Amino acid sequence: MLLIYPLMLGTWEIVAIVLVILLLFGGKKIPELMRGLGKGVKSFKQGMNEVEKEIKDIDEDYNKEEKK
């Protein structure tokens, strides 16, 4: 419970974080920042899908050899 509680943010905490981000990066840099973040998330998802596919293929090969 102690580890989860700090992750719960209220409305004022979110507003404060947004204001700090605006002050640090400015309004013009935020779209670039979000675009980069989106590309990173997309790349991470692709990597995870490739790993899942590889694990599935290995499992299928193992099951085929086990049946022989």
Residue 7 pLDDT? 65
For residue 7, give the amino acid letter: L
Residue 68 pLDDT? 62
How confident is residue 1, by pLDDT bands cut at 50, 70 and 90?
very low
- 33 in Cβ contact with 25 (< 8 Å): yes
pLDDT top residue among 35 and 5: 35
What tens digit of pLDDT does each residue of 13-54 get?
888 988 888 888 888 888 888 899 899 999 999 999 999 999
Q: What's the DSSP call for residue 7?
A: G
Q: How many domains does the chain have?
A: 1
How confident is residue 5, by pLDDT bands cut at 50, 70 and 90?
low
Task: State which residues form the domain around 51.
Answer: 5-67
Closest by CA to 37, choosing from 45, 57, 54, is 45
